[in-house]
Amino acid sequence: LPVLFKKELRSEEVQEGASVTLSCELTKEAPVKWKIGPKVLKASDKYQMRQSGTTAELVIHDLEVKDA
């Protein structure tokens, strides 16, 4: 069976310069790639990715307009 979203991402409104945590839940364990447009994000000081079982999280630090 294909992997589906059990709990999809929700839009968040956050002040520039702040941090935000985005999360989703899948129907079964699978690797997750986070993207902004066509660009695949890589772990760095700005982006942190965590995955535990079927829940995946992306933390974006020091938010800028281009992170929308």
Q: What is the pLDDT of residues 16-48, one digit of tens each?
A: 999 999 999 999 999 999 998 899 999 999 999
Rounded CA-CA distance 52/25 in Å is: 10
Q: What is the predicted pLDDT for the residue at 68?
A: 81
Mean pLDDT rounded to a whole number for the chain: 92
Stated pTM of the model: 0.85
Rounded CA-CA distance 9/12 in Å is: 9
Evaluate if residue 10 carries a pLDDT over 90.
no
Q: What is the predicted pLDDT for the residue at 33?
A: 93
Rounded CA-CA distance 28/67 in Å is: 28
Q: What is the predicted pLDDT for the residue at 50?
A: 95
| Domains within the chain, CATH numbers bracketed | 5-67 (2.60.40.10)
